[in-house]
Amino acid sequence: MFRLYDTRTRQAEAIVPARRGELRMYSCGPTVYRAAHVGNLRTFLLADLIRRTAERRRLTVIVGQNITDVGHLADDLEPDPGGEDKVLAQARAEGVTAGQLARRHEDGFRADCAALNIRPPDFSPRASESIGLMTEMIAKLIETGHAYATPGGSVYFDARSFPGYGELSGNRLGALRPGHRSGGEIDGQKRFHADWALWKGARPGRELTWPAPWGTGFPGWHTECSAMSLHYLGDVIDVHTGGIDLRFPHHEDERAQSDAITGHEVVRHWVHGEHVLFEGRKMAKSAGNVVLLGDVTDRGLDPLALRLALLEHRYRQQLNLTWDTIQAADKTLRRWRQRMADWARSPSKPMSAPYVSDITAGFDDDLDTPAALRRLRELEQDDAVAPGSKFETFAHVDRLLGLDLASDVGRPAAPWPLPDGAGDLLAARAAARRGRDFAAADRLRDALAAIGVTVADTPAGQEWTVRPGR
């Protein structure tokens, strides 16, 4: 069975589904007030990699992923329960309705995921269409003594009623400072400073509100995921994914709510992806370095080059993404596709069992995708493996990688093919470099240049370009 690092237990755990042959996974979805940037997309790639790894183990994977289109405040710990909703604020700034804004960014998110070969979830409920599920859950939490209503129409979760609070994030109730994100100001409606709103009473005239037994208002962000995950996936969820920034307070509060209402641990494994920097800095609108998938394709780069660049680093390591790394990934992707097209012309041979075993073992070992890619590069350069075997092996492991490596098979050749004899010279030069005969490699480089082929040495091996007209 494969292993994943569990944030709660702080160690890699074997993933053994609660239901025989079926893995249930919930992934925190986007808040659709803006386009998802490349760092956000890394988190959704994480869930896709888990899904593909589980499916290789012949598990049926059922995925739920919410769409947050209400209730996510600009500061979800602020003392004012009627604070600014991110969707409403952005809709007002753009002069559109909240619904128009949310649907536009929801559609854009789905398009980005499709371009990255991230498979869609089985269930994708919108928060705004799931209010009944949330009010029903809140009523049960009040009934069981885990929540309380206030005269202002809000409902708060009683944090002290859940003894396991803090196991996920390490933030214990006794150590949390009152008003630490609000300059010391504390919501007077709370019985305890660390309690959080399940339902927020709304001021008159506020958009996106619904009637509830406690008063007109809207759900808390944390409420949404508990209610929707329990409804669509049941009260035992094998894996819950999200970005590391959601660990606290979102997932800590979500865990408390779900476990309190069921009386047992709902999520068996919590898996979080780390942050992405771009050119060494945190992506922020104020810094002007927010990179979208559209920015990648606008540069003429394949969107799956971003997927490959993300696979070059383990999901739980912070990643510094740069344009150079994405461009390098684009070159590698195009080279592999051309190699696949070339290998496809050779007689088919069985897959290389050692390479398949090593590459899949990398995925099984807490998604060690860098190790898997290193072995794939070694296979590319291994002259002892027949071309037909390389093709079958690459095609097989691409079910895990999701890079469409066979997409050039059967397509017309590139407009500037290698000149006659260049292939033999390139093979001879590669052999000379492996034998550390660098003088011979330099002579072969000059011979290639004379017939219009420019060669560059990279960590992945030699790469070449052909001058037009040759």
Question: Position of tokens 């209610």?
Answer: 227
Question: Region 221-225: what's the mean pLDDT?
Answer: 95
In angstroms and rounded to an integer, the radius of gyration of the C-alpha atoms of the chain is 26
Per-residue pLDDT, 390: 97
Per-residue pLDDT, 436: 87
Question: Region 336-363: what's the mean pLDDT?
Answer: 96
Three-state DSSP class for residue 300: coil
Question: Region 405-417: what's the mean pLDDT?
Answer: 75
Per-residue pLDDT, 461: 75
AA letter at 28: C
Question: Region 299-315: what's the mean pLDDT?
Answer: 96
Question: Region 194-219: what's the mean pLDDT?
Answer: 93
Confidence of residue 455 (pLDDT cuts 50, 70, 90): confident
Paired strand residues for 352: none
Question: Region 343-371: what's the mean pLDDT?
Answer: 97
Q: Provide the terminal-to-terminal Cα distance of the chain, rounded to the nearest Å.
A: 52
pTM of the complete model: 0.85
Per-residue pLDDT, 328: 95
Is the confidence at residue 167, as pLDDT, over 70? yes
184 or 64, greater pLDDT:
64
Using a pLDDT cut of 70, give the percent of the chain over it. 93
Is the confidence at residue 231, as pLDDT, over 70? yes
pLDDT per position as a tens digit, 170-206: 998 877 766 544 444 556 789 999 999 999 999 888 8
Per-residue pLDDT, 1: 86
Question: Region 416-426: what's the mean pLDDT?
Answer: 77
Question: Position of tokens 């790394």?
Answer: 325
Per-residue pLDDT, 184: 46
Question: Region 30-47: what's the mean pLDDT?
Answer: 96
Least confident of 248-262, 285-299, 359-373: 285-299
428 or 257, greater pLDDT:
257
- Provide the pairing of β-strand 267-273 with 237-243: parallel
Per-residue pLDDT, 125: 97
Per-residue pLDDT, 204: 87
Strand ranges in 118-183 using DSSP code E only, listed in sequence order: 147-149, 155-157
Rounded Cα gap, residues 70 and 84, in angstroms: 11
Mean pLDDT of the chain: 91
Confidence of residue 470 (pLDDT cuts 50, 70, 90): very low
Rounded Cα gap, residues 11 and 9, in angstroms: 6
- Provide the pairing of β-strand 22-27 with 237-243: parallel
Question: Region 116-132: what's the mean pLDDT?
Answer: 97
Is the confidence at residue 76, as pLDDT, over 80? no
Rounded Cα gap, residues 451 and 470, in angstroms: 7
